[in-house]
């Protein structure tokens, strides 16, 4: 069987004339000239065969590539084909477009070739490839099927066809089963859906899933804007800790806590119900505020009220006294100067209408100026009436003596003038020179109680 190393296609022409050489042709010539080139193959795909000097001792088969006018071009290595030799030819020798042994051998090789002929090319296939038969059992490798129709043999017809506007891939798993289509109903089972595959976006907003299909226990779940319709709804936690119901609102977020009772059950406290609170502690910040009422409907029994400020019936109870901002010792004519290293402190507490206060003024070590006139101090809170009486003392650091003071004829905003009393019955007004001239390290203390306005 002949070997066909490459696929080839030869040209033929319709009724090319039998002609003669118009000039001598050397043994190595790659062109020759015809007397007439009528109907000879022109330039194009494939070569053609020419016989020169047929039936003579110089007969030669030549493979040519094209004809231009009367000039014929020889194909590469085209001289001396079909067992002939490249020889010189003379003017007038016969020339014609012919058939060759190669043409016959190629056809016979194709007809008799099989896939086992590794050196034979069939229809342009790679050597060793087979032509696909309609009924042959064959394996197709590295093939792209465009718009195939795959027909089943058991029942119906299975069609796998790519869309005209797009391409896609259908992956058939290596398991036994039936493919599910969009037209099927009731064929998808829970075993076919991977856990976690269905997300919120896969569930239609109007699905209205029946409560019987939802797990009765929701652990560590957040319910956004829930509506509880059952009057007997039960919220259970693990037995310890706190169960929390949170409600979001436009003005903020509110949380309702359900602490786990020590034993048995517990009842939530309603804001209008008559209930008894036992062993409860009100922590700091949980004040009973104005407008809130503690009546006989509610009892705090054995509990602790622990608050910085507690207000009951308009009366405020505070645990700490309030500092007076910049207390000032004044005089009726010229205010005194306490000097370098001095101090002036004041504190008060108001419980309802009752005000308690204390002031301490200590003169410094230098720069002291007693001023002139009678001493007085502004009250921390405006008094309801004037004429209150307050007590005090003056300490003379140079002698170590204390002098008892009284503050009389007070106004609603100040203590009034202070008076001191020596060993005798007479009292004298406290001022810049009495009982002694205030000097370094001397001090004045004033305290009292009065009704606020």
> Is residue 403 a part of any domain in this protein?
yes
> Is residue 8 a part of any domain in this protein?
no
Kindly report the CATH number assigned to the domain that includes residue 438.
2.60.40
Q: What is the pLDDT of residue 80?
A: 95
If one counts every other C-beta atom within 10 angstroms of the C-beta of residue 322, the result is: 14
**Maximum pairwise Cα distance, the chain:** 179
405 forms beta bridges with: 392, 420
Q: What is the pLDDT of residue 291?
A: 46
> Is residue 172 a part of any domain in this protein?
no
Looking at the structure, do residues 430 and 410 belong to the same domain, yes or no? yes
Collect contacts of 238-246 with beta carbons under 8 A, ≥24 apart. 246/222
Task: Read off the tokens for 128.
Answer: 């060793």
> Is residue 283 a part of any domain in this protein?
yes
Looking at the structure, do residues 314 and 328 belong to the same domain, yes or no? no
In the predicted model, residues of the chain with pLDDT beneath 70 are 1-9, 45, 110-130, 147-174, 215-318, 421-429
Looking at the structure, do residues 280 and 372 belong to the same domain, yes or no? no
> Is residue 81 a part of any domain in this protein?
yes
Q: What is the pLDDT of residue 361?
A: 94
Look at the chain and count its residues: 453
d(CA 376, CA 418): 7
The DSSP bridge pattern shows strands 275-278 and 298-301 to be parallel
Q: What are phi and psi of 244, to 5 degrees?
A: -120, 130
Looking at the structure, do residues 355 and 434 belong to the same domain, yes or no? yes
d(CA 121, CA 113): 8
> Is residue 115 a part of any domain in this protein?
no
Q: What is the pLDDT of residue 430?
A: 74
Burial class (CB in 10 A: 0-12, 13-18, 19+), 24: middle
Looking at the structure, do residues 438 and 367 belong to the same domain, yes or no? yes
Q: What is the pLDDT of residue 450?
A: 95
Looking at the structure, do residues 446 and 331 belong to the same domain, yes or no? yes
Q: What is the pLDDT of residue 99?
A: 86
> Is residue 39 a part of any domain in this protein?
yes
Looking at the structure, do residues 343 and 439 belong to the same domain, yes or no? yes
Looking at the structure, do residues 361 and 447 belong to the same domain, yes or no? yes
The residue out of 106, 125, 145 marking a domain boundary is: 106
Taking the model in full, what pTM does it have? Answer: 0.38
The residue out of 75, 106, 137 marking a domain boundary is: 106
**Sign of the torsion angle spanned by Cα atoms 298, 302, 308, 311:** positive
For residue 70, give the 3-state DSSP assignment: coil
Looking at the structure, do residues 379 and 334 belong to the same domain, yes or no? yes
Task: Read off the tokens for 113.
Answer: 């070739």
**Sign of the torsion angle spanned by Cα atoms 10, 13, 19, 24:** negative
Looking at the structure, do residues 366 and 396 belong to the same domain, yes or no? yes
**Where in the sequence is the domain holding 329, given as residue range(s)?**
322-451
For residue 51, give the 3-state DSSP assignment: strand
d(CA 286, CA 276): 18
If one counts every other C-beta atom within 10 angstroms of the C-beta of residue 353, the result is: 13
> Is residue 228 a part of any domain in this protein?
no
The residue out of 41, 74, 106 marking a domain boundary is: 106
Name the nearest CA neighbour of 26 among 1, 58, 66, 63. Answer: 58
Q: How many domains does the chain have?
A: 3
Looking at the structure, do residues 445 and 330 belong to the same domain, yes or no? yes
Give the CA distances from residue 215 to residues 59, 237, 242, in Å, rounded to whole numbers and listed in that order: 100, 15, 21
Task: Read off the tokens for 189.
Answer: 């089972």
Looking at the structure, do residues 289 and 399 belong to the same domain, yes or no? no
Name the nearest CA neighbour of 56 among 92, 23, 81. Answer: 92
């Amino acid at each position: 069987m002949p070997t066909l190393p490459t696929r080839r296609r030869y040209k033929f022409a319709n009724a090319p004339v039998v002609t003669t050489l118009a000039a001598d042709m050397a043994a190595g010539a790659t062109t020759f000239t015809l007397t007439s080139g009528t109907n000879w193959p022109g330039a194009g795909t494939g070569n053609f065969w020419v016989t020169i000097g047929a039936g003579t001792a110089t007969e030669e088969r030549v493979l040519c590539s094209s004809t231009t006018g009367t000039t014929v071009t020889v194909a590469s290595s085209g001289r001396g084909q079909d067992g002939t030799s490249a020889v010189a030819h003379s003017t007038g020798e016969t020339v014609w477009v012919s058939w060759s042994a190669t043409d016959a051998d190629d056809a016979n090789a194709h007809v008799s070739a099989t896939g086992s002929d590794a050196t034979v090319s069939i229809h342009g296939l790679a050597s060793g490839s087979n032509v696909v038969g309609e009924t042959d059992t064959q394996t197709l490798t590295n093939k792209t099927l465009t718009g195939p129709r795959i027909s089943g043999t058991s029942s119906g017809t299975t069609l796998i066809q790519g869309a005209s506007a797009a391409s896609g891939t259908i992956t058939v798993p290596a398991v036994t089963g039936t493919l599910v289509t969009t037209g099927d109903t009731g064929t998808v089972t829970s075993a076919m859906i991977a856990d976690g595959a269905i997300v919120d976006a896969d569930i239609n907003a109007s699905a209205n899933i029946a409560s019987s299909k939802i797990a009765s226990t929701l652990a560590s779940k957040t319910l956004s804007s829930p509506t509880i319709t059952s009057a007997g709804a039960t919220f259970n936690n693990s037995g310890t800790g706190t169960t929390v119901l949170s409600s979001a609102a436009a003005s903020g977020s509110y949380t309702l806590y359900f602490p786990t009772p020590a034993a048995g059950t517990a009842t939530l406290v309603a804001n209008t119900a008559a209930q008894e609170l036992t062993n409860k502690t009100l922590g700091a910040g949980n004040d009973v505020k104005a407008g809130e009422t503690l009546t006989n409907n509610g009892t705090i029994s054995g509990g602790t009220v622990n608050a910085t400020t507690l207000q009951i019936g308009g009366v405020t109870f505070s645990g700490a006294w309030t500092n007076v901002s910049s207390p000032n010792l004044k005089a009726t004519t010229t205010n005194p100067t306490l000097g370098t290293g001095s101090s002036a402190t004041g504190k008060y507490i108001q419980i309802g209408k009752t005000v308690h206060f204390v002031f301490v003024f200590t003169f410094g070590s230098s720069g002291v100026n007693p001023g002139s006139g009678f001493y007085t101090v502004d009250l921390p809170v405006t008094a309801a009436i004037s004429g209150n009486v307050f007590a005090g003392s003056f300490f003379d650091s140079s002698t170590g003596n204390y002098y008892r003071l009284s503050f009389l004829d007070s106004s609603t905003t100040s203590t009034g003038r202070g008076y001191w009393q020596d060993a005798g019955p007479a009292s004298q007004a406290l001022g810049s020179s009495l009982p002694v001239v205030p000097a370094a390290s001397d001090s004045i203390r004033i305290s009292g109680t009065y009704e606020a306005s």
